[in-house]
Structure 1
Amino acid sequence: MKNRKKTSRFVYRLRVICLTGFICTITAWGFPVQSQETTSEESTTPAAITTEDIEIPVDELELLVKPLTKQELEVEAQAWLLLLKEKVTEISNAEIAIKRKNREAQQAQEAVEALEEAQKKLEQANEAEDNNTESSQKVEEAQEALEEAQEAVEEAVKAEEQIQQDEQLQEAVDSALEEQGDEDKKLLINQGEETVGVEEAQEATENIEEAAASLENIEAGGDDADTEKELEAVSKKLEEAAESTSEVKTQLVVNVTELQEQRVAIVDRFNAVLEELQEKGGEVEAYDLYIKSVSGIDIDVTDTEGLWVRVVGWIQSEEGGLRWLVKIATFVGIVTASVIVAPILRMLTNRSLALVGGISDIFRLFIVRVVWQGTIVLGVFLALTAIEVNLGPVLALIGGASFILAFALQSNLGNLASGLMIMLYKPFDVGDEVKLGDIWGFVDSIGLANTKVRGFSGQISTLPNNSVWGSVITNNTAGETRAVSFSLKVGYNEDIPKIQELLLDVIRSHPLVLKTPAPSGMVWELADYYVNVLAKGWTKNSDYWTAYSDLMNQIKARLEQEGIAVPTPKQRIQVEEGFNGKTTQLLTETPEPVTASNK
């Protein structure tokens, strides 16, 4: 029995040992495999090449990324994103340090003011020694001022401790202190004082702490004379601390200005990579939003000293004021050039269209105006690109607005299209005598939306171009000459050839009637009770209405002279008796009098 138990234990242990060995073997094999896979994965991930030199010129960077594939450009974009993020983090830490240094300096200044108030109250208490009540009151007021001073100093100490405890903020402050000895930066902040080193900054912190300890001793009580001396010493330490803090803060502002300049340079190169990535089908919207969100400049207008340092630094920065000076100069130059070139193109276009011929004056002037104004608008758009204005959203906005306006103003757009057709096909021009539907007169003006016609009585009729183009257009002055014609109705008993020759003789004798083409006449119509005789001559367009009026009077006088009767209306009354009574019937025969028509 015991042997069996020993055997079973041995077998169990053997199994455990084998299982443990198997697990260890598998684990040992697994680690190298995993390590090899990780190494393989890391080796297959391409490294960014454009960030090796972050100061590479933008034009060279554009050429460098041209042959890269979409996947490679995505790696480059991620690398530039990390660089931009690091730079923005540095700027944020420096800005936070500036705000806390401002708060520290403000608290120190408030403590100085409170100490001065306490010192003043103590002096008043010494002067009022005879009056115990007044003296006690002044002492209490001095004590309150001391408490306020201590609170302000404690806040200043707290702000300094927060900076020291935050490694990133302390790193920003240390960087500012290291660069404070640079003479160029000293000129930038326009200060002639001695630079403050790390030791003096630490001394400023120690001054605040010593001032806090001194205030505690003063509150513990003591001789008034000693108290006043201690107050003066504490006040002096606080003033030195405030001055040192202000200088450190100023250097922090200078550093922020330089960091912002570096950020602008990174953004320029980042945008070059993103433009190439977008052209090859990559998604860049998230990158653009990030750049937009971190590219702003926050300015504390209450910090007048820091504001001035920022302004001076930005003006002197190659990526700031100098850069924008070049851009603004480029913008003004392009706009000025477009304004100068536009009239030249307008003149050349006008002369070219005038030489072509067959184009209406209105259409020619319209094309000339489009060329002139279009050149200026194109120049403004090109100038906007010089100051880094993205025209994509602007053009998209214009396109969307155009679609909405086209849908809402369909009839107006129809008038515009009809106006262009009128200008292009030139059925009439300004000054022509036309009939447009029921309107008869002279064309006063032709616009894109409407046409104005001046009637014979001087009235102006404004017609939408859509209705003008859709109606029958009769131009009476389309050519250089115009026929003045007369239609005379005479009776069948008259000598028709004689009347026809009479009309032609009157027309030929008028000085405004042209010899060529010669006047002509014919029998136009044989009606029931009259014969219609037609005669016409040709005049210049400008002489038409004068000749027409004169010939009407001369024809009437000649007919009367020759004794030619014109058919007059005849009335015959016939009375008939019907079965239901008498009915009166009036029959009227009315031959038409002499008339004239223009053709």
Structure 2
Amino acid sequence: MTEEYTQLIESYGNLALDMVLEILAALAILVIGRFVAKKVSGYTQKLLEKSGRVDRTLRPMIVNIVHYTIMIFVLVAVLARFGVETTSIIAVLGAAGLAIGLALQGTLQNISAGFMLLFLRPMKVGEFVDADGISGTVEEIGLFVTHMTTVDGLYISVPNSRLWSAKVTNFSRNSKRRTDLVVGIGYGDDIGKAEKVALAVVNADPRVHKDPAPQVIVTGLGESSVDLTVRYWTDTGNYWPAQSDNRRAIKEAFDKEGISIPFPQRDVHLIPEAKS
């Protein structure tokens, strides 16, 4: 009886030892696998940056795919240490994928939207865009969200599905932009003179394109002013500084030439009450 009891203890002891060794081996594989995934994804990031052939927008997505692919193989290796067969692993992954897919439909929409954003490229890293009120410079298009920086330096994280379903206005994609400066002059001022003065101002700006040529057109007869639109084209990067400088220069030129820029005003006529 004692001998049988001793053999039973030895058997359970060996089984427990084997189990502990398998757990330690699985933990070692997991730790080493995570280390390798981190190193390989980091090396991939550096390689993509050094090559210069891969668009900046695609780099984070490629790095993430490399990282998660390695981790999938690591998890399969960990399960294999516990005697789980490959076919069983595939079946478990398939069932888990289906369950996760049903539970995380919104997340999967973000992933698919991210791939569509990368494939069709309505926006790229470094471009300034507006998507139905969400505006900023694109910093990174990830698997789930897009990272952006607003004009006032704030960080925003936007789900990819929201950007994909929105109307995107890309302010950086085209190389040049048209500017329309609306300037009002008084009804008593010489329209032809005002047009010549405004044209002289914008033509003197080297940032303004000569083709198509700048033009000044009458676009409105307001309550207090004749509205002139000064229209010209510049490089996209010069749009805001050129607009500010030319608006200021036109105001100063009009003041020098005696052309008024009226403010809204209203004439009130008092009709005396008829004597009875």
Q: TM-score, normalised by structure 1?
A: 0.36
Letter of the 1:521 counterpart = Q
Structure 1 Cα separation of the partners of residues 141 and 52 of structure 2: 19
Equivalent position SS for 1:572: coil
Does residue 1:562 correspond to 2:225, yes or no? no
Deviations 1:31-82 (A, max 9, x none): xxxxxxxxxxxxxxxxxxxxxxxxxxxxxxxxxxxxxxxxxxxxxxxxxxxx
Q: Which has the larger radius of gyration?
A: 1
Give the direction of change, closer, same or farther, for the CA distance of 1:561–1:300 in structure 2 (3 Å limit).
same
User: Which residue does the alignment assign to 2:181?
Assistant: 486
- In structure 2, C-alpha distance between the alignment counterparts of 1:339 and 1:449, rounded to whole Å: 20
Q: Is the 8 A contact 1:524 1:534 kept in 2?
A: no
Match of 2:124 in 1: 429
Query: How far off its partner does 1:433 sit?
Result: 2.2
String of CA shifts for 1:75-106, please: whole Å, max 9, x gaps.
Answer: xxxxxxxxxxxxxxxxxxxxxxxxx3526xx9
CA drift at 1:443: 3.2
Pair 1:576–1:459, CA change in 2 (3 A): farther
1:553 to 244, 248, 251: 248
2:243 aligned with 1:534, yes or no?
no
- 1:38-437 correspondence runs (5 A): 100-102=1-3, 299-300=8-9, 342=40, 346=44, 350=48, 355=53, 360-378=55-73, 381=76, 385=80, 388-437=83-132
Deviations 1:183-232 (A, max 9, x none): xxxxxxxxxxxxxxxxxxxxxxxxxxxxxxxxxxxxxxxxxxxxxxxxxx
Amino acid at match of 2:193: K
The reply to whether residue 510 of structure 1 matches residue 205 of structure 2 is: yes
Other structure's SS at 2:240 match? helix
Identity of aligned residues (%): 21
Q: Is the Cα–Cα contact under 8 Å of residues 76 and 89 in structure 2 kept in the other structure?
A: no
Aligned-pair distance for 1:492? 5.1
Task: Give me the CA root mean square deviation.
Answer: 4.4
| Matched residues, number | 260
Alpha-carbon distance in structure 2 between the residues aligned to 1:407 and 1:376:
22
- Picking from 148, 158, 161, the partner of 1:466 is 161
Distance 1:412 1:441, change over 3 A: same
In structure 2, what is the Cα distance between the partners aligned to 1:341 and 1:568? 65
Q: Is the 8 A contact 1:353 1:364 kept in 2?
A: no
Q: Return closer, same or farther for 1:376/1:412 CA change in 2, 3 Å cut-off.
A: closer
**SS of equivalent residue, structure 2 residue 230:** strand
Structure 1: distance between partners of 2:38 and 2:123: 34
Please tell me the residue identity of whatever aligns with 1:457: D
Offset, 1:300: 0.8
- Is 1:520 the equivalent of 2:214? yes
Find the aligned partners of 2:270 and 2:235 in 1 and give their Cα distance. 53
Q: Structure 1 442/485 Cα, relative in aligned 2: closer, same or farther at 3 Å?
A: farther
Give the AA of the match of 1:392. T
Asked whether the 8 Å contact 1:523–1:534 carries over to 2, the reply is yes
**Matches of 1:401 and 1:353, distance apart in 2:** 37
Q: Which moved more, 1:553-562 or 1:489-498?
A: 489-498
Q: What is the alpha-carbon distance in structure 2 between the residues aligned to residue 375 and residue 453 of structure 1?
A: 28
**Number of the residue aligned with 1:69:** none
For residue 268 of structure 2, what is the amino acid of its counterpart? I
Which structure exhibits the higher relative contact order, with contacts defined as CA atoms closer than 8 Å and separated by 6 or more residues? 2
Deviation string, structure 1 residues 143-162 (Cα, Å, up to 9, x no partner): xxxxxxxxxxxxxxxxxxxx
Structure 1 residues 417-438: Cα deviation after superposition (integer angstroms, max 9, x where no partner): 2233222222122332222222
Q: Is the CA contact 1:349–1:368 (under 8 Å) kept in the aligned structure 2?
A: no
Alpha-carbon distance between aligned partners in 1 of 2:218 and 2:128, rounded to the nearest angstrom: 26
Q: Secondary structure at the match of 2:184?
A: strand
Q: By how many angstroms is 1:366 displaced?
A: 0.3
TM-superposed deviation, 1:345: 9.1
- 3-state SS of 1:458 partner: coil
Cα distance in 2 for residues equivalent to 1:344 and 1:368: 8
Q: CA deviation at 1:521?
A: 1.4
2: CA distance, partners of 1:452 / 1:343: 20
Tell me, in whole angstroms, the C-alpha distance in 1 between the residues paired with 2:64 and 2:210.
Answer: 41
SS across alignment from 1:300: helix
Against the structure 1 CA distance between its residues 440 and 503, is the aligned structure 2 distance closer, same or farther, given a 3 Å change threshold? farther
Contact 1:481–1:539 (Cα < 8 Å) also in 2: yes
CA contact (8 A) 1:363 1:423 kept: yes
Residues 495 and 459 (structure 1), Cα distance of their counterparts in 2 relative to 1, 3 Å cut: same
Paired residue type of 1:570: Q
2:129–2:137 contact (8 Å) kept in structure 1? yes
Q: Which residue of 2 aligns with 1:167?
A: none
Per-residue deviation, 1:461:
4.2
Q: Deviations over 1:261-290 (max 9, x none)?
A: xxxxxxxxxxxxxxxxxxxxxxxxxxxxxx
